Amino acid sequence: MALLIDPPAWGAHGRLWSHLISDTSLAELHYFAGALGIPRRAFEGDHYDIPEERYAAVLASAWPVTELVDQPWDLTDFRVQDPDGYYLRVASTRPA
């Protein structure tokens, strides 16, 4: 069970936003968001939109996900890092 958050990189309404998701259930996601004081109106069907200024507070309780990176060896990847610093890299080949 983990809550994941990506860096604030999505622009809308003159701000940058992150996405907060759960790998377990929407119930877990709603509970966690409520505990952090994130309003239900920030829920977008399968994730919560988190404004850049709230990112650090949420990151203290969620696992960070890096942005997608195009690697020079023809892979696109991202990482999910746990609180102890271990990470899982998820990669796929880039379409030709």
Q: Please, are residues 70 and 58 in contact by the beta-carbon 8 Å criterion?
A: no
**Percent of the chain residues past pLDDT 70, beyond the cut:** 98
- The pLDDT of residue 71 is 81
DSSP label at 67? P
Average pLDDT over residues 7-35: 90
Under 8 Å CB-to-CB from 31, ≥6 apart: which residues?
Answer: none
Confidence category of residue 17, pLDDT binned at 50, 70, 90 = very high
Torsion of CA 30, 31, 36, 40, to 10 degrees: 30
In the numeric block, which tokens belong to residue 60? 């203290």
Compute the Cα dihedral for 59, 64, 69, 71 and give only its sign. positive
